[in-house]
């Protein structure tokens, strides 16, 4: 049992480390990760944990801490987080987005405070406390800090999972990011919607803008947009049911339209781009066939291409067949943590881990907190942050001793 004085010192250290990490502007585009690696190396030394760096791309380091378990032959635990953050428009923020300003209410303002530098530090500070209590896990615990998650993770977790280096980690279960919950409950996610980014190309006959030509790209794009937006409206209407959440439906959003060369020239092609997130219950082949049918109905030579097309990945089982889930749930119950279980509405690196057949949960211990990821004035209260460390301390202990 640690003394109150020691706990207070640990809380202060944790907040200092969190704020120092937040001040590193690992922001897209063209991120230089050097300062993140230097910071993490300092943390590894303070924890006396070995740290290895892997590279899919020489500018995109994948940093792994390893806390060796008492039985190194057992499948390991992976605690994943990402170092990169999305852009912030400083003129829209109350405080500079990389200042990690701590206000009088204890709120820490910074890009990445919720998504997801908080979780990376919470892992490390939880391990620090377990070490001081002379706890040692049965299973080896790896803590990963990866790049590029915010732009799809291709040169981060996605490609890393295909390497022998990842296989050598012998991962049996993983935790990754979730999202804040405005209520007293905590979100936990066992699956994700599949991401499809679709470009629908509508070719037509070019000509003078004064003419009413047949085979018109504009007419075709109107039909396509109507088809996609009608489906969107159907899915949106399902959310009026209080039992349905965003992760339970397929979302479609028109994000870009491009084509044409001049105002008085009928274009020979107009393309609409749609961001689609497929509900895990949707059959991918059937959905693609529906898109093909819509293109045929829109007119001659209308077709689509994929910018991104995630394949179907089964959700992690939440039953007795998954001993990690049993340990996670029991640990939360013992802490009187009410879990709000669902499908993550966005995309995280968990999908690449689950695609290998490895069970994974998305969990960020932030309750009574407004969801501000990617928003102006993203912030996290220091007391919520510290409480998250305490929660992770028990969870890491539980799952690493399965």
pLDDT tens readout for residues 211-232: 999 999 999 999 999 999 999 9
Taking a C-beta distance cutoff of 8 angstroms, is the pair 265, 297 a contact?
no
Whether residue 198 sits in one domain with residue 152:
no
- Per residue in 2-13, pLDDT (tens digit) is 899 999 999 999
3-state secondary structure of 242: coil
Whether residue 255 sits in one domain with residue 364:
no
Taking a C-beta distance cutoff of 8 angstroms, is the pair 367, 188 a contact?
no
Is-catalytic flag, 84? yes
* Structure tokens belonging to residue 264: 């008085």
Whether residue 268 sits in one domain with residue 221:
yes
- pLDDT at position 200 is 98
- pLDDT at position 259 is 97
- pLDDT at position 242 is 67
pLDDT below 70 — which residues of the chain? 242
Helical ranges in 48-148 per DSSP H: 117-132
Whether residue 365 sits in one domain with residue 295:
no
What CA–CA distance (Å, rounded) separates 306 from 312? Answer: 15
What CA–CA distance (Å, rounded) separates 310 from 158? Answer: 11
- pLDDT at position 286 is 98
Q: What is the edge-to-edge ordering of all strands in the sheet holding 186-192?
A: 51-57, 60-67, 141-146, 76-82, 171-176, 360-362, 186-192, 339-344
Whether residue 188 sits in one domain with residue 136:
yes
Whether residue 322 sits in one domain with residue 289:
no
* Structure tokens belonging to residue 165: 């280096």
What CA–CA distance (Å, rounded) separates 196 from 211? Answer: 36
Whether residue 321 sits in one domain with residue 265:
no
- pLDDT at position 241 is 74
Whether residue 111 sits in one domain with residue 27:
yes
User: Which pairing describes strands 186-192 and 379-381: parallel, antiparallel, or unpaired?
Assistant: unpaired
Taking a C-beta distance cutoff of 8 angstroms, is the pair 362, 177 a contact?
yes
Give the count of beta carbons closer than 10 Å to the beta carbon of residue 202.
29
CA torsion 322-323-324-325 (nearest 10°) is 60
Whether residue 137 sits in one domain with residue 11:
yes
Active-site residue among 115, 125, 148, 149? 149
* Structure tokens belonging to residue 285: 């082949």
Nearest to 288 by CA among 269, 300, 303: 303
Task: Give the count of alpha carbons within 13 A of 108, CB side only.
Answer: 26
Domain edge (last residue) among 309, 324, 347:
309
DSSP β-bridge partners for residue 63: 53, 145
* Structure tokens belonging to residue 231: 């489906």
Per DSSP, 4 falls in state: H
Whether residue 303 sits in one domain with residue 331:
no
Is-catalytic flag, 149? yes
- Per residue in 161-174, pLDDT (tens digit) is 999 999 999 999 99
- CATH number of the domain within which 214 lies: 3.30.70.360
Question: The domain containing residue 27 runs over which residues?
Answer: 4-192+315-400
Whether residue 210 sits in one domain with residue 181:
no
Whether residue 359 sits in one domain with residue 392:
yes
* Structure tokens belonging to residue 339: 């879990």
Active-site residue among 84, 248, 349, 378? 84
Q: How many domains does the chain fold into?
A: 2
User: Which helix or strand (DSSP H or E) is residue 223 part of?
Assistant: helix 217-238
Q: Would residue 358 be called left, alpha or beta, if left means φ above 0 and alpha means ψ between -120 and 50 degrees?
A: beta
- CATH number of the domain within which 362 lies: 3.40.630.10
Nearest to 139 by CA among 72, 66, 65: 72
- pLDDT at position 177 is 98
């Amino acid at each position: 049992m640690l003394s109150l004085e020691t706990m207070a010192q640990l809380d202060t250290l944790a907040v200092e480390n969190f704020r120092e990490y937040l001040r590193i502007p690992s922001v897209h585009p063209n991120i230089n990760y050097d300062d993140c690696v230097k910071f993490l190396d300092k943390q590894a030394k303070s924890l006396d944990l070995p740290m290895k760096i892997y590279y899919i791309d020489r500018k995109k380091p994948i940093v792994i801490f390893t806390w060796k378990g008492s039985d190194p032959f057992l499948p390991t635990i992976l605690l994943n987080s990402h170092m990169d953050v999305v852009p912030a428009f400083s003129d829209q923020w109350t405080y500079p987005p990389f200042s990690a300003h701590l206000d009088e209410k204890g709120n820490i303002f910074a890009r990445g405070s919720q998504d997801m530098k908080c979780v990376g530090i919470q892992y490390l500070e939880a391990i620090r406390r377990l070490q001081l209590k002379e706890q040692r896990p049965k299973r080896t615990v790896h803590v990963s800090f990866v790049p590029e998650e915010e732009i799809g993770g291709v040169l981060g977790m996605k490609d890393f999972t295909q390497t022998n280096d990842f296989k050598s980690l012998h991962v049996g279960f993983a935790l990754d990011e979730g999202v804040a919950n405005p209520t007293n409950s905590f979100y936990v996610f066992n699956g994700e919607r599949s991401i499809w980014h679709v470009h629908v190309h509508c070719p037509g006959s070019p000509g003078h803008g004064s003419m009413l030509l047949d085979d018109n790209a504009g007419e075709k794009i109107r039909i396509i947009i109507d088809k996609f937006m009608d489906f969107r409206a159907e899915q949106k209407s399902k959310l009026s049911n209080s039992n349905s959440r965003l992760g339970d439906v397929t979302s479609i959003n028109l994000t870009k339209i491009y084509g044409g060369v001049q105002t008085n020239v009928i274009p020979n092609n107009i393309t609409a781009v749609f961001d689609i997130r497929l509900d895990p219950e949707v059959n991918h082949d059937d959905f693609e066939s529906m898109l093909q049918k819509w293109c045929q109905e829109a007119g001659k030579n209308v077709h689509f291409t994929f910018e991104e097309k995630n394949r179907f990945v089964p959700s992690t089982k939440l039953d007795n067949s998954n001993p990690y889930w049993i340990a996670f749930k029991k640990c939360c119950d013992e802490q009187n943590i009410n879990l709000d279980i669902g499908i993550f509405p966005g995309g995280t690196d968990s999908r690449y881990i689950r695609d290998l057949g490895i069970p994974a949960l998305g969990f960020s211990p932030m309750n009574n907190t407004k969801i501000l990821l990617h928003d102006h004035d993203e912030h996290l209260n220091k007391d919520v942050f510290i409480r998250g460390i305490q929660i992770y301390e028990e969870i890491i202990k539980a799952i690493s001793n399965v």
